[in-house]
């Protein structure tokens, strides 16, 4: 949606603050539904939850295209975010089920890189290639809904009858799945899960905000639509590198906690530098922010699925809590940033830099991974 907001804004006469509100609805929908989505996955199984989620996402996304004004688009943005939560917590738990412990970080990175690849393609081509082909920003959303349906069908067919292997050092998913109450009780008692969740709120919330604001900001400071969209897409290109490269680095040096903390501090500094950057420096800052933030998010997920006190049976619930907290940040920060941007276009970057530092403080209280 970020690269389509210009067209939607012209169509509906939206202000910057209203665009900030719309973008914040996606993560707030995720925030509210992430924990229930993880609970459903733990109860029904991740394969069914993901397949059903693809169809629900397709329906909610199509409703966005039918929106005739700000109120309806606000509601449908929320519904799209809520439907995504059926997919993400359950998709992210798969590496902890199918891979041995020493490969979970890298496997998680490969899984999450799918999000980045989708971000690259849609950010680079939605407004400049797809929309001219199909006519309007609404039709772009209808095309993507059709793709979601196709992905859901392929997923359910591919996963039919597949059973995860038994992995050394990883508790297998029991035949009798835990109830919603049992999963909640298990996850809520674990300090590590809360530290990862609150830290994720600060760092990943800042990334969500940056992602939504960049296309509009780059156009505001005078860059052409093509240059701005291409520059924004490098955020996701670098995310692919970060999702795989940062966990690989952490595995090699055996310092997951240290890598998370250092990456978070650098991310906070990079976001603050956006306020003073020129066009040339943006080509450095944007990829760096994408690489580091996605790497942090990947390490958080891989740590969460390996927490012994939680186990594979309730991993979806843990990831739902972590993802939900991140999206609470992704709701509050764009909303506040949109208000600040109406006064000064660079002030949001300072806000998001501070929240990233807040996440860093939480990560400092994590215990070393080897003690888990």
Q: Give the tens place of pLDDT for each residue, 244-297.
A: 999 999 988 878 899 999 999 999 999 999 988 778 888 999 999 999 998 999
Which SS3 state, helix, strand or coil, does residue 107 take? Answer: helix
pLDDT in tens, 331-363: 788 778 888 988 898 999 999 999 999 999 999
CA distance 298 to 303: 9
pLDDT in tens, 16-45: 778 878 877 887 888 889 899 988 988 888
145 and 284 Cβ atoms separated by less than 8 Å: no
Residue linked to tokens 């996963």:
159
Q: What percent of the chain has pLDDT over 90?
A: 38
pLDDT, residue 169, reads 58
CA distance 284 to 352: 18
User: How many residues comprise the chain?
Assistant: 372
Return the DSSP state at 344. -
User: Across the chain, which distance is largest between two alpha carbons, in Å?
Assistant: 59
253 and 137 Cβ atoms separated by less than 8 Å: no
Residue spans of the domains in the chain: they are: 2-159+177-371
CA distance 181 to 307: 19
CA distance 9 to 163: 47
Neighbours of 45 (CB within 10 A): 16
2-159+177-371 belongs to CATH 1.10.340.30: no
Task: Determine the Cα angle at 248 with ends 247 and 254, to 5°.
Answer: 85
Helical packing angle, 5-12 and 191-220, nearest 10°: 70
């Amino acid at each position: 949606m970020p690269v389509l907001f210009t067209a939607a804004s012209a169509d509906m006469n939206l202000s910057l603050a209203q665009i900030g509100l719309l973008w914040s609805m996606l993560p707030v929908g995720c925030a509210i539904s992430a924990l229930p989505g993880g609970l459903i996955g733990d109860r029904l199984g991740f394969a069914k939850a993901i397949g059903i989620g693809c169809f629900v996402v397709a329906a909610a996304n199509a409703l966005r295209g039918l929106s005739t004004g700000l109120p309806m688009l606000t509601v449908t943005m929320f519904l799209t975010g809520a439907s995504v939560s059926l997919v993400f917590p359950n998709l992210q738990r798969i590496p902890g089920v199918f891979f041995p412990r020493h490969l979970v970080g890298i496997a998680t990175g490969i899984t999450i890189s799918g999000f980045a690849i989708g971000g690259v393609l849609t950010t680079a081509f939605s407004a400049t290639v797809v929309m001219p082909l199909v006519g309007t920003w609404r039709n772009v959303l209808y095309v993507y809904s059709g793709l979601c349906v196709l992905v859901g069908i392929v997923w359910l067919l591919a996963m039919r009858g597949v059973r995860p292997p038994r992995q050394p050092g990883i508790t297998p998913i029991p035949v009798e799945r835990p109830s919603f109450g049992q999963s909640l009780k298990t996850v809520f008692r674990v300090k590590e899960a809360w530290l990862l969740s609150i830290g994720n709120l600060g760092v990943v919330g800042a990334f969500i905000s940056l992602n939504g604001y960049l296309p509009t900001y780059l156009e505001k400071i005078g860059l052409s639509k093509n240059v701005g969209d291409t520059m924004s897409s490098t955020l996701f290109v670098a995310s692919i590198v970060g999702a795989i490269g940062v966990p690989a680095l952490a595995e090699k040096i055996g310092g997951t906690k240290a890598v998370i903390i250092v990456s978070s501090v650098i991310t906070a500094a990079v976001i603050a530098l956006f306020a003073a950057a020129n066009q040339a420096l943006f080509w450095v800052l944007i990829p760096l922010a994408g690489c580091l933030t996605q790497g942090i998010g990947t390490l958080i997920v891989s740590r969460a699925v390996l927490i012994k006190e939680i186990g594979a049976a309730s991993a979806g619930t843990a990831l739902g809590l972590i993802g939900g907290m991140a999206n609470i940040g992704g709701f509050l920060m764009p909303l506040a940033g949109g208000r600040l941007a109406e006064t000064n276009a660079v002030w949001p970057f300072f806000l998001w830099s501070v929240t990233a530092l807040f996440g860093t403080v939480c990560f400092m209280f994590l215990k070393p991974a080897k003690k888990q």
